[in-house]
Amino acid sequence: MRLAGWLMRAVGTAIAHGGGHGGGLGSIAPEVGDIRIVDTSKRSLTMQAEVNFTNPTMYAVFIPFIDMHFLVNGTVLGHLVVKDMAVTPGRNERLIAQTIYDPESTSGDEGLRVGKEWLSQYVSGRFCNLFVGAPRRLT
């Protein structure tokens, strides 16, 4: 499926208009600010974070909804959810993203095993990779 088709399915309706900045992907400069725990259960954790980044393009976009998986070594551990986000050209600050860490619901016993190992490494101060990707059902 073409990228434009995937993007429209992923975010619903996107409203874009021109602006003017330019730059490459290296100029995105993402940062995570204030992180709050907003919900917990026996095996899940929902957090909300303020994110800052630079949109290097000359376009603004409104993202009504997007749900992406976050993975460790190919195992889905949860979701990254963005709702009603307006991205403008240049620096964007204090935008809200939500993560739902729920390895059992997303990947069963394998998710629990990988999730425990990843959290253990993270808490121990080790370098830990975490990847974000589209759910397979959208591709």
Task: Tell me how many domains the chain contains.
Answer: 1
Range of the domain at 128: 3-138
Q: What is the pLDDT of residues 65-105, one digit of tens each?
A: 999 999 998 999 999 999 999 999 999 999 999 999 999 99
Cα(127)–Cα(88) distance, integer angstroms: 32
Give the Cα-Cα-Cα angle 85, 39, 118 (nearest 5 degrees).
90
Cα(77)–Cα(93) distance, integer angstroms: 27
Cα(25)–Cα(98) distance, integer angstroms: 23
Q: What does the DSSP 8-state code read for residue 26? A: G
pLDDT of residue 119: 87
Long-range contacts of residues 4-7, Cβ cutoff 8 Å, at least 24 apart: 6/134, 6/138, 6/139
Mean per-residue pLDDT for 48-61?
93
> Do the Cβ atoms of 50 and 34 come closer than 8 Å?
yes
Nearest C-alpha neighbor of 95 from the set 64, 63, 50: 50
The CB density around residue 119, as the number of other CB atoms within 10 Å, is 16
Q: What is the pLDDT of residues 20-46, one digit of tens each?
A: 455 556 678 888 888 899 999 998 999
**Residue-wise burial string across 84-105, b where 16 or more C-beta atoms lie within 10 A, e elsewhere:** ebebebeebeebebbbbbbbee
